[in-house]
Amino acid sequence: MKARVIITPKKAVLDPQGKTVQEAMAHMGYEGIGAVHVGKYIEVELAPGMDGAVAEARLHDACRKFLSNPVIEDYRLEILA
């Protein structure tokens, strides 16, 4: 079993990396590109036999405490079979 954590800047927070990527894409001729948001992708392999609900609770805790900055970032957690 694996878990996937996707962390992105909150919509209200300035994303300078995203803005740079957006401008670079426009400069390179990619048309129709709107807002770009740059984030983090984390994949966690869970121990065999670990209870999915326990794993999810622990990972939510880790996301709130140190994987993301809840002041400026949102996260999405997915448990994969």
Domain that holds residue 47: 2-80
Amino acid at 42: I
Q: pTM of the prediction? A: 0.84
Q: How far is CA 40 from CA 9, 68, 73, in A?
A: 9, 9, 10
Domain count, the chain: 1
Q: What is the CATH number of the domain that holds 13?
A: 3.30.1280.10
Q: How far is CA 19 from CA 15, 28, 72, in A?
A: 6, 14, 16
pLDDT digits (tens, 9 = 90+) for 5-52: 999 999 999 999 999 999 999 999 999 999 999 999 999 999 999 999
